[in-house]
């Protein structure tokens, strides 16, 4: 895939996500977000790029606005769930206008993380919008817990998928060339992130999530479109042509 083609696809995906964010219809938002994930899957960059590194695929830092309020740490958890399997390092900082996550990695990985995070966040938000409890405070607690549960399930799904892909790559590449390339690539990312982020402190753990909301979010995430084939006999996603 050429860089021009990749750029065109990212524009298309972002337009779909803008439509998802702009509609007040939860079903339309979910449909737009899922279509964005399908495009990500159908045109996903081949993992072989780890061996033959594209010199134009430079290291950089991307910012994600997490806003302020009760859902900030849950949004961060979802971003981290998407970033880790794509070799992107994430920290966050509080600013006067809200919390911002700083993501460091290769440009191609950051592009995928951006569109996949936004797609999944929209999918979660469209389902959270339908959740109501007895009081506004109870609704907020449930939705916050829902998003944490959603993020945890997405994290596990992507890690499972990554493990299967890594096993397939090891079976094909008996020379170990791919493994060496991955280690070298990760070392470059870590060195870059350490320089770009500077001194990083460990944040306090977020307050506990509500069990019912967490479970509901986990169930919702098991039906989410994550832009790749599912595991253990579950329905394959991202097969449709854009």
* Position 45 confidence tier, pLDDT thresholds 50, 70, 90: very low
Contact 207/75 with Cβ under 8 angstroms?
no
User: What are the angstrom distances between the C-alpha of 124 and each of 29, 117, 130?
Assistant: 10, 10, 10
pLDDT at residue number 43? 57
Domain ranges of the chain: 3-222
Question: Cα separation of 195 and 105, whole Å?
Answer: 12
Strands 89-95, 98-106: pairing is antiparallel
| Cα dihedral 44/48/49/50 (nearest 10) | 120
More confident position, 218 or 114 = 218
pLDDT digits (tens, 9 = 90+) for 61-78: 999 999 999 999 999 999
pLDDT at residue number 231? 33
Bridge partner list, 67:
99
This prediction's pTM: 0.73
Mapped to the 3 state alphabet, what secondary structure does 149-218 carry? Answer: HHHHHHHHHHHHHHHHHHHHHHHHCCCCHHHHHHHHHHHHHHHHHHHHHCCCCCCCCCCCCCHHHHHHHH
DSSP readout, 231-242? STTPPP-S-S--
DSSP readout, 92-136? EEEETTEEEEEEEEEHHHHHHHHHHHHHHHHHHHHHHTT---SSH
Question: Cα separation of 78 and 202, whole Å?
Answer: 18
More confident position, 9 or 116 = 116
More confident position, 75 or 173 = 75
How far, in whole angstroms, is CA 189 from its chain's centroid?
18
pLDDT digits (tens, 9 = 90+) for 78-91: 999 999 988 999 99
Mean pLDDT to the nearest integer, 122-135: 89
* Position 233 confidence tier, pLDDT thresholds 50, 70, 90: very low
pLDDT digits (tens, 9 = 90+) for 23-44: 877 778 778 877 777 776 665 5
Question: Cα separation of 13 and 157, whole Å?
Answer: 22
* Neighbouring residues of 180: CB distance < 8 A, sequence distance ≥ 6: none
């Amino acid at each position: 895939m050429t860089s021009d083609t990749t750029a065109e696809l990212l524009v298309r995906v972002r337009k779909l996500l803008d439509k998802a964010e702009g509609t007040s219809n939860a079903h339309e938002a979910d449909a737009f977000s899922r279509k964005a994930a399908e495009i990500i899957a159908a045109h996903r960059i081949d993992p072989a790029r780890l061996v033959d590194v594209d010199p134009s695929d430079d290291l950089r830092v991307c910012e994600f606005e997490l806003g302020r309020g009760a859902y900030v740490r849950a949004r961060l958890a979802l971003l981290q769930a998407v970033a880790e399997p794509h070799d992107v390092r994430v920290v966050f900082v509080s600013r006067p206008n809200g919390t911002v996550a700083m993501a460091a990695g290769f440009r191609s990985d950051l592009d995928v993380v951006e569109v996949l995070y936004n797609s999944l966040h929209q999918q979660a938000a469209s389902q959270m919008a339908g959740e109501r409890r007895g009081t506004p405070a109870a609704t907020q607690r449930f939705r916050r817990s829902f998003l944490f549960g959603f993020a945890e399930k997405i994290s596990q799904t992507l890690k499972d998928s990554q493990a299967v892909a890594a096993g397939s790559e090891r079976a094909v590449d008996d020379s170990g060339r791919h493994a060496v390339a991955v280690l070298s690539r990760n070392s470059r990312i870590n060195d870059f992130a350490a320089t770009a982020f500077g001194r990083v402190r460990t944040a306090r753990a977020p307050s506990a999530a509500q069990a019912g909301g967490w479970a509901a979010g986990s169930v919702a995430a098991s039906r989410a479109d994550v832009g790749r084939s599912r595991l253990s006999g579950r329905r394959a996603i991202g097969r449709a042509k854009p």
